């Protein structure tokens, strides 16, 4: 018969089964069936088929249960519901040290394994702690002039918040203007940049003006009311000549005293543009390893001559603007991996906090002290995968002790079966987690967060949305003083040749007030991505 003829002419098929521990627990049974045909998910299907040697050598298909991560048998790693099981063969995902997993990591920030769970956890709105702290006795001190709200500015990758405005970016290139009091009305400006915006700052002089640095190699200055935008500099006047020459702007800050915009590109160079003359001043200066991205710039709030930069070469550097040239940094702050952000403290300007991809916040207590090594390293999960905007720890501008920092958390917490990513408030003087914010409706990661300069508001940019958080007691009355406040959603991000600069996460347009009624009318959209998450 035909079947027999064929059998003899093809190699024998051997199926290796998992003998030791195939007893699947009941909850993963449905997966078992489906996965036999797939190679990657937990079982390895291994075929040794040598087509040329017809017939004799057997085909071996192994159905042994192996770890998805290390491909070894005997254990499994990956998500089980909302909990991720680490591969014991890998270093701890959180602190990167071998010998234990995230679940048993001494730095684990969670109720069960927590390092230093706040006593206030779950008992009160975390905001109560955070904002109470600002209202405490020490807060009655008069704040230094340079942080009075009118003059405050500051920004971060995708969000900037001023007295009345928040700006965020989106990779597609829209700029949306939001009114705090009428959160559903949004004006969108879409043609300011042709690529994603990597940094934004409100003008220190005019609240309604925003500067932005983009992967299209330009700096824009936009009037948010009219949407009229000015291009201050273009590093790619000849257009796309290939990835080797296309320059993208990442780090940016404004230096009010000097009247310049400072920007840095993906090749390690710093540029300075005179705001009034709209001219590039001087030559580009190599401030980080040649060819490496400079992701952050920050001018010292007290001493305008001091500049802090950080980048992909694993360094943050402090510069004296009066004599800045390649290799002339005052200090080099070494990190183990890429430095996502580096900020001087907002009031005294004498502390530094950096966020690095080695899952550590680093704190230097005084720039006047020994800077050879950080005063403190705080393990915190903000390692990111390639599709996320890098996390950045941000100072609380209202904390006179300059010890409170807000930063999103990457690894999730199992919250009634849903994986939620809290936003952490950390006391950088002790490393203590003093508050964490999460909401079962918000299942996305929030890599970007910014506290309002004087109000009890946290703007939080997640992969899809901008959320506005307030303390509960402030949510009930719709305060008249909110009238006229604007939230702006901006950004850019048309890809060019698919070659560069398109962070796939960017905070974008949907805004949710924590007021219930506002949430309601957005419920459908909330639901849609909630379900998206849950089904994982």
421 contacts DNA (rule: CB under 7 A): yes
* Alpha-carbon torsion, ordered 79, 82, 88, 91, to 10 deg: 100
289 contacts DNA (rule: CB under 7 A): no
Q: How far is the CB of 69 from DNA (least distance, A)?
A: 4
Answer for which of 11, 93, 316, 396 binds DNA (CB under 7 A) is 93
100 contacts DNA (rule: CB under 7 A): no
Q: Which of 467, 504, 494 shows the shortest CA–CA distance to 166?
A: 467
Among 145-153, 164-172, 300-308, 423-431, the segment contacting DNA (CB under 7 A): 164-172
Among 43-51, 86-94, 364-372, 391-399, the segment contacting DNA (CB under 7 A): 86-94
Backbone torsions φ then ψ of 227, nearest 5 degrees: 80, 5
E strand or H helix that includes residue 259? none
Q: Which of 441, 436, 443 shows the shortest CA–CA distance to 419?
A: 443
Number of CB atoms found within 10 A of residue 11's CB: 18
CA atoms within 13 A on the CB side of 498: 0
Q: Which of 513, 500, 528 shows the shortest CA–CA distance to 244?
A: 500
Answer for which of 121, 143, 289, 464 binds DNA (CB under 7 A) is 464
- CA 285, distance to chain mean position in Å, is 27
Q: How far is the CB of 125 from DNA (least distance, A)?
A: 23
What gap in Å lies between CA 136 and CA 155, rounded to an integer? 26
529 contacts DNA (rule: CB under 7 A): yes
Give the residue with the Cβ less far from DNA, 167 or 445: 445
How would DSSP label each residue in 223-235? ETTT--EEEEEES
Among 26-34, 55-63, 114-122, 165-173, the segment contacting DNA (CB under 7 A): 165-173
Q: Residue 208 in contact with residue 225, Cβ under 8 Å? A: yes
Give the residue with the Cβ less far from DNA, 103 or 163: 103
Q: Residue 354 in contact with residue 333, Cβ under 8 Å? A: yes
Answer for which of 498, 516, 517, 524 binds DNA (CB under 7 A) is 498
What gap in Å lies between CA 93 and CA 86, rounded to an integer? 8
Site for DNA in 294-333 (CB under 7 A): 295, 312, 314
Give the residue with the Cβ less far from DNA, 132 or 439: 439
Q: How far is the CB of 79 from DNA (least distance, A)?
A: 6
Answer for which of 329, 355, 357, 449 binds DNA (CB under 7 A) is 357
Among 316-324, 368-376, 459-467, 481-489, the segment contacting DNA (CB under 7 A): 459-467
Task: Record the tokens describing residue 115, joined without a space.
Answer: 């390092």
288 contacts DNA (rule: CB under 7 A): no
Pairing of β 376-379 and β 352-356 = unpaired
Task: Record the tokens describing residue 438, joined without a space.
Answer: 């999460």
Give the residue with the Cβ less far from DNA, 273 or 442: 442
Q: Which of 105, 109, 87 shows the shortest CA–CA distance to 413?
A: 109
Give the residue with the Cβ less far from DNA, 456 or 503: 503
Q: How far is the CB of 205 from DNA (least distance, A)?
A: 32
111 contacts DNA (rule: CB under 7 A): no
Going by C-beta distance under 8 Å and a sequence separation of 6 or more, which residues neighbour residue 108? Answer: 94, 102, 114, 115
Answer for which of 53, 323, 386, 517 binds DNA (CB under 7 A) is 386
Answer for which of 218, 220, 444, 513 binds DNA (CB under 7 A) is 444
What gap in Å lies between CA 66 and CA 75, rounded to an integer? 7
| Residues in binding contact with DNA, number by CB under 7 A | 45
Question: Which residues of this chain interact with DNA, rule CB under 7 A?
Answer: 68-69, 79, 83-84, 86, 93-94, 102, 170-172, 293, 295, 312, 314, 337-338, 357, 385-388, 411-412, 419, 421, 444-445, 462-464, 495, 498-505, 508, 529, 533, 536
């Amino acid at each position: 018969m035909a079947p027999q003829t064929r059998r003899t002419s093809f190699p024998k098929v051997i199926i290796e089964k998992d003998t030791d521990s195939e007893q699947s627990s009941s909850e993963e049974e449905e997966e078992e069936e489906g996965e036999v045909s797939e190679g990657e998910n937990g079982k390895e299907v291994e075929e040794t088929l040598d087509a040329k040697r017809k017939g004799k050598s057997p085909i071996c298909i192994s159905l042994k249960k192996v770890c998805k991560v290390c491909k070894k048998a005997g254990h499994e790693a990956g998500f089980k519901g909302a909990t991720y099981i680490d591969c014991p063969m890998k270093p701890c995902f959180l602190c990167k040290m071998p010998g234990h997993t995230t679940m048993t990591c001494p730095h684990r920030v969670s109720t069960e394994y927590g390092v230093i769970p706040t006593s206030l956890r779950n008992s009160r709105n975390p905001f109560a702690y955070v904002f109470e702290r600002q209202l405490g006795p020490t807060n009655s001190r008069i704040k230094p002039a340079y942080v009075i709200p009118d003059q405050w500015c500051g920004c971060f990758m995708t969000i900037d918040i001023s007295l009345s405005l928040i700006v965020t970016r989106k990779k597609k290139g829209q700029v949306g203007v939001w009114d705090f009091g009428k959160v559903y009305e949004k004006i969108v400006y879409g043609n300011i940049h042709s690529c994603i915006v990597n940094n934004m700052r409100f003008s220190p002089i005019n609240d309604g003006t925003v500067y932005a640095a983009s992967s299209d190699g330009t700096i824009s200055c936009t009037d948010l009311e009219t949407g009229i935008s000015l291009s201050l500099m273009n590093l790619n006047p000849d257009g796309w000549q290939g990835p080797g020459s296309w320059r993208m702007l990442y780090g940016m800050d404004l230096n009010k005293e000097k009247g310049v915009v400072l920007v840095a590109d993906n090749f390690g160079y710093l540029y300075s543009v005179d705001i009034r003359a709209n001219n590039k001043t001087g030559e580009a200066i190599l401030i980080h390893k040649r060819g490496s991205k400079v992701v952050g710039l920050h001018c010292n709030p007290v001493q305008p001559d001091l500049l802090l930069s950080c980048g992909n070469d694993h360094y943050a550097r402090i510069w004296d603007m009066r004599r800045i040239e390649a290799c002339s940094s005052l200090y080099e702050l070494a990190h183990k991996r890429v430095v996502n952000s580096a900020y001087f403290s907002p009031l005294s300007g004498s502390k530094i906090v950096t966020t690095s991809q080695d899952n550590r916040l680093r704190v230097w207590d005084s720039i006047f002290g020994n800077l050879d090594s950080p005063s403190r390293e705080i393990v915190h999960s903000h390692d990111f995968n390639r599709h996320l905007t890098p996390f950045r720890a941000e100072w609380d501008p209202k904390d006179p002790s300059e010890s409170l920092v807000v930063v999103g958390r990457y690894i999730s917490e199992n919250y009634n079966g849903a994986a939620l990513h809290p936003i952490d408030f950390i006391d950088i003087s002790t490393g203590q987690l003093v508050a964490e914010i999460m909401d079962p409706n918000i299942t996305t990661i929030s890599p970007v967060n910014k506290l309002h300069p004087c109000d009890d508001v946290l703007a939080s940019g997640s992969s899809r949305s901008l959320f506005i958080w307030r303390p509960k007691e402030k949510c009930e009355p719709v305060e008249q003083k909110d009238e006229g406040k604007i939230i702006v959603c901006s950004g850019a991000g048309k890809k060019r040749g698919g070659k560069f600069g398109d962070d796939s996460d960017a905070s974008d347009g949907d805004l949710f007030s924590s007021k219930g009624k506002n949430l309601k009318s957005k419920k459908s959209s909330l639901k849609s991505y909630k379900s998206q998450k849950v089904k994982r």
